[in-house]
Structure 1
Amino acid sequence: MATAEGYLRRLTRRLTEDPEKLDVEELSDEAAATGAQRAIDCRRGQEVVMVGTLRSVECNGKGCAGGVRAELFDGTDAVTLVWLGQRRIPGIESGRTLRVRGRIGKLDSGAKAIYNPLYEIQK
């Protein structure tokens, strides 16, 4: 009986809550389940392992000579991934889920970044 009540409660929540909020919570829970650090908790200079979804991927600079930039979102915060000297990276595209490893730095804008991260494509 309790299982049916729990299912009904979850179903009602899914039908009534904002879909974007549910997606953020689901993404955050998935990242936490892998043992990865949450982006919101990461600080400059820290070596991290993160899991998240790429929200955008673009070339940076003239003819992409400046590298590839991608925004990784884990449900708590976004981190910009920067691959210097790359024009294109196969498999790095919006909507993909990645596990990345690297040291947190900062962009000129003050946003968190990881330069030349090691990565594994999850989905």
Structure 2
Amino acid sequence: MALAANGYIRRLTRRLTEDIDQLDAEELAQSVEATGAQRACDCRHGEEVTMRGRLRSVESCAQSANATVRAELFDGTDPVTLVWIGRRRIPGIETGKQLLVRGRLGDRDGQKVIYNPYYELLGDS
């Protein structure tokens, strides 16, 4: 019983003293692993990937010739930029939403990117 109490106190102390963003990233990475999705840090350019994560940012570029929606998906390990070409807005694609995405991982200016990914909305964070 005392051993379990020590473990609880240790976890509680860690939660109260560590960086909130770091804890959030760790929890997100663990939940992604539990679903069987690939971790962004393990994926390489050119691979077909299935990832799960939370949208950290969403922006729309509504120029008539180059309409795009860009979002940053974070799974707790690495960010991946999602780009939907030819779209001005996508209902449900909002900061804080969780997604499951599938597509071919590319590279844009040294960053991981997936163009026109298939996606499923999974709910709020």
TM-score by length of 2: 0.90
Q: Which residue of 2 aligns with 1:116?
A: 116
Work out the percentage of aligned pairs sharing the same amino acid: 63
Following superposition, the deviation at residue 62 of structure 1 comes to: 1.6
Alpha-carbon distance change, 63 to 6 in structure 1, aligned in 2, over 3 angstroms: farther
Q: Which runs of 5+ in 1 are unaligned?
A: none
Q: Which residue of 1 aligns with 2:71?
A: 70
Q: What is the count of residue pairs matched by the alignment?
A: 122
Moved more, 31-40 or 52-61: 52-61
Unaligned runs of 5+ in 2: none
Does the aligned pair in 2 maintain the 1:64–1:86 contact within 8 Å?
A: no
Query: Taking structure 1 as reference, are residues 83 and 43 closer, same or farther at Cα in structure 2, changes over 3 Å only?
Result: same
Deviates more, 1:10-19 or 1:54-63: 54-63
Contact preservation (8 Å) 1:70, 1:82: yes
Q: Within 2, Cα distance between the matches of 1:61 and 1:116?
A: 16
Shift of 1:121: 1.1
Corresponding residue number in structure 1 for 2:50:
49
Using the alignment, how far apart are the partners of 1:84 and 1:73 within structure 2?
20
How far, CA to CA, are the matches of 2:65 and 2:58 in structure 1?
12
- Secondary structure of the residue aligned to 1:105 is strand
Q: CA RMSD in A?
A: 1.5
Q: Which has the higher strand share?
A: 2
Contact 1:65/1:87 (8 A) holds in 2: no
Judging changes above 3 Å, is the alpha-carbon distance between structure 1 residues 105 and 11 closer, same or farther for their aligned structure 2 residues?
A: same
Amino acid of the residue matched to residue 117 of structure 1?
P
Instruction: Tell me the residue number matched to 2:107.
Output: 106
Change (3 A) 1:59 1:3: same
Residues in 1 aligned to 2:51 and 2:101: alpha-carbon distance in whole angstroms: 5
Q: Distance in 1 between matches of 2:64 and 2:9?
A: 53
- Take 1:87 and 1:18, find their aligned partners in 2: how far apart are those partners? 36
| TM-score using structure 1 length | 0.92
